[in-house]
C-alpha cells in the first residue's frame, strides 16, 4: 500500500512477484470496504490473512488493518527508495510502482523486517500519552532556552536572581510568575515586595514567601547594563510572547504526565516495571510505551537492547575492529533509558555499585550509564517474560559495604 493523505494505491503480488490486482482507494470507510473486497478476491481469509506493507505505522487505515489481525509491516521510505533502485536506474517513480515495491519487499525479504506489534489497546493509549508528554517536555525546554537567550541580551539580572547555585530554570512557576509582572528592568525598578509576594503565592509558593520576595526585589534592582529604552520595551514584549509559549508547554507537560501515569497504573505490567530502581510512573510509562506488551515482539533480550541502542556495534573489516555505540535506535526509548539509568545510580544501591565499577574500569560517564541501562533493560525483558518482579540480589549480586573506586581498580 503506497500511502498518501487522501488516497492509497494498492498492489497485490503472488509468490512469484506477478501482479494479481491493483487499485486506488480513498482514505475513508468506502476505501476500506474496497480494500477488503480486493483482498478477499485475492484469497484473503481470517485463517491466512494477506500481510500488508506500508510506509507509515500510524493513521486510521493502519489501525483498521491491525484490527483485522493481519501482519502489517511499516517499511522506512529510505529502504523503499533503495529497493526501487534495484530495478530502475532511471529513478522512475510512481505510486503504483511504489506499491509494487512494497509488496515485493515483504515477498522477498519479509523475514528481515518486523511487523507492527500486537500491543493491547491500553498500551497503545499509554504510548500516545507518554510520547506526547515527551514532546511537550522537549518543546518546554526549547521555549525555556529561547527565553533565556533573550534575557541575556537585555535583562541578565533576572537570570542571576533565579540562578542560585545552579543554572537558571525558567520553567519554575516562581520564575515565570515574576517575569510576567516584571518583563524589563524598568518594570523591576518599580516592583514592591508585596506584589512579588503575591505573584509567588499565585505560583504555588507557601513557605518563606516574604523573605524570597525581598531577595528577588534586591536581585532585580542590581545595577546592570541597559538597552535603549524603546529597544528594552520591545525585548520585554518579545519575552512575554515567549513566556506564553513556555507557560503552555509547562501546562501541557504536567497534564500529559498525569494522564500517562493514570493509564500506566492500570496496566498489568505496572508492578513489574516500577519494581526496578529508577522507574517511577512517568519513566516507567515511557519505557513500556516503547517496548509494548506484545511478548513476541522481540526474539530475545539482545534484540530489545539493539532496538534501544544500548547494545554496542562491532565493525570488523580485515585487521580493523571497532566497537562503538549505536546511533540508529529508538530515540525515545534511549532518552527514557538515560533518565532511568541516571536515576537508578543516583542513590546507594547495587545499580550505583555497577556504575562505579564501570567508571573505575575506565568508562566515561555516558558509557557507564549506557552499560547500566543495557544491563537493566535485559533484566526487564526477563522479568516481563517470566512475570517476576525485580530482585537486586539476583540482578547484581550481593551489595558490597564499600563501592569500588578508580584508585582501588
In percent, how much of the chain has pLDDT > 70? 95
Q: Residue 284: pLDDT above 50?
A: yes
* pLDDT (0 to 100) of residue 408: 45
* pLDDT (0 to 100) of residue 290: 95
* pLDDT (0 to 100) of residue 400: 63
In percent, how much of the chain has pLDDT > 90? 64
* pLDDT (0 to 100) of residue 399: 63
* pLDDT (0 to 100) of residue 165: 53
* pLDDT (0 to 100) of residue 371: 93
Q: Residue 407: pLDDT above 50?
A: no
Q: Residue 143: pLDDT above 50?
A: yes
* pLDDT (0 to 100) of residue 277: 93
pLDDT per residue as tens digits for the range 294-326 = 998 898 999 999 999 998 888 888 888 887 878
Question: If pLDDT is split at 50, 70 and 90, which confidence band does 43 have?
Answer: confident
pLDDT per residue as tens digits for the range 213-250 = 999 999 999 888 999 999 999 999 999 999 999 999 99
* pLDDT (0 to 100) of residue 324: 81
* pLDDT (0 to 100) of residue 167: 61
Question: If pLDDT is split at 50, 70 and 90, which confidence band does 33 have?
Answer: very high
Average pLDDT in the 278-289 region?
A: 95
Q: Residue 409: pLDDT above 70?
A: no
Instruction: Return mean pLDDT, the chain.
Output: 89
pLDDT per residue as tens digits for the range 95-133 = 888 899 999 999 998 888 888 998 999 999 999 999 999
Question: If pLDDT is split at 50, 70 and 90, which confidence band does 281 have?
Answer: very high
* pLDDT (0 to 100) of residue 224: 87
Q: Residue 38: pLDDT above 60?
A: yes
Average pLDDT in the 189-208 region?
A: 92
Average pLDDT in the 135-159 region?
A: 93
Q: Residue 406: pLDDT above 70?
A: no
**H, E, C per residue of the chain:** CEECCCEEEEEEECCCCCEEEEEEEECCHHHHHHHHHHHHHCCCCCCCCCCEEECCCCCHHHHHHHHCCCCEEECCHHHHHHHHCCCCCCCCCCHHHHHHHHHHHHHHHHHHCCECCCCCHHHHHHHHHHHHHHHHHHHHHHHHHHHHHHHHHHCHHHHHHHHCCCCCCCCCHHHHHHHHHCCCHHHHHCCCHHHHHHHHHHCCCCCCHHHHHHHHHHHHCCCCCCCCHHHHHHHHHHHHHHHHHHHHHHHHHHHHHHHHHHHHHCCCCHHHHHCCCCCCHHHHHHHHHHHCCCCCCCCCHHHHHHHHCCCEEEEEECCEEEEEECCCCCHHHHHHHHHHHHHHCCCCCHHHHHHHHHHHCCCCHHHHHHHHHHHHHHHHHHHHHHCCCCCHHHHHCCCCCCCCCCCCC
Amino acid at each position: 500500500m503506497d500511502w498518501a493523505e487522501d488516497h492509497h494505491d494498492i498492489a497485490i503480488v503472488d509468490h512469484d512477484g506477478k501482479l494479481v490486482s491493483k487499485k486506488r482507494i480513498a482514505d475513508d470507510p468506502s476505501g476500506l470496504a474496497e480494500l477488503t473486497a480486493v483482498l478477499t478476491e485475492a484469497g484473503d481469509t481470517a485463517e491466512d490473512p494477506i500481510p500488508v506493507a506500508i510506509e507509515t505505522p500510524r493513521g486510521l487505515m493502519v489501525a483498521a488493518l491491525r484490527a483485522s489481525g493481519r501482519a502489517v509491516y511499516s517499511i522506512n521510505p529510505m529502504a523503499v527508495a533503495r529497493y526501487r533502485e534495484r530495478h530502475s536506474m532511471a529513478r522512475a517513480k510512481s505510486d503504483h510502482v511504489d506499491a509494487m515495491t512494497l509488496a515485493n519487499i515483504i515477498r522477498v525479504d519479509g523475514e528481515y523486517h518486523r511487523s507492527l506489534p500486537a500491543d493491547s489497546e491500553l498500551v497503545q493509549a499509554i504510548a500516545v500519552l507518554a510520547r506526547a508528554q515527551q514532546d511537550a517536555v522537549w518543546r518546554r525546554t526549547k521555549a525555556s532556552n529561547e527565553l533565556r537567550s533573550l534575557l541575556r541580551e537585555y535583562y541578565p539580572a533576572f537570570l542571576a536572581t533565579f540562578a542560585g547555585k545552579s543554572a537558571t530554570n525558567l520553567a519554575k512557576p516562581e520564575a515565570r510568575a515574576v517575569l510576567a509582572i516584571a518583563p524589563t528592568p524598568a518594570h523591576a525598578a518599580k516592583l514592591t515586595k508585596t506584589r512579588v509576594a503575591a505573584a509567588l503565592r499565585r505560583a504555588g509558593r507557601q513557605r518563606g514567601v516574604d523573605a524570597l520576595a525581598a531577595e528577588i526585589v534586591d536581585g532585580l534592582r542590581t545595577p546592570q547594563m541597559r538597552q535603549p529604552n524603546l529597544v528594552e520595551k520591545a525585548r520585554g514584549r518579545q519575552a512575554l510572547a515567549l513566556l506564553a509559549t513556555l507557560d503552555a508547554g509547562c501546562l501541557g507537560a504536567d497534564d500529559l504526565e498525569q494522564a500517562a501515569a493514570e493509564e500506566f497504573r492500570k496496566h498489568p505490567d505496572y508492578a513489574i516495571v516500577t519494581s526496578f530502581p529508577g522507574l517511577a510512573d512517568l519513566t516507567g510509562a515511557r519505557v513500556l510505551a516503547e517496548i509494548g506488551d506484545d511478548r513476541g515482539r522481540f526474539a530475545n533480550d539482545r534484540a530489545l537492547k539493539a532496538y534501544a541502542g544500548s547494545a554496542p556495534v562491532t565493525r570488523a573489516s580485515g585487521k580493523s575492529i571497532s566497537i562503538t555505540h549505536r546511533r540508529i535506535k529508538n530515540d525515545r526509548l534511549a532518552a527514557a533509558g538515560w533518565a532511568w539509568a541516571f536515576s537508578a545510580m543516583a542513590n546507594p544501591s547495587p545499580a550505583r555499585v555497577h556504575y562505579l565499577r564501570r567508571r573505575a574500569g575506565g568508562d566515561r560517564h555516558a558509557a557507564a550509564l549506557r552499560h547500566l541501562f543495557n544491563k537493566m533493560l535485559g533484566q526487564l525483558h526477563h522479568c516481563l517474560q517470566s512475570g517476576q518482579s525485580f530482585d537486586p540480589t539476583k540482578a547484581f549480586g550481593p551489595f558490597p559495604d564499600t563501592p569500588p573506586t578508580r584508585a582501588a581498580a
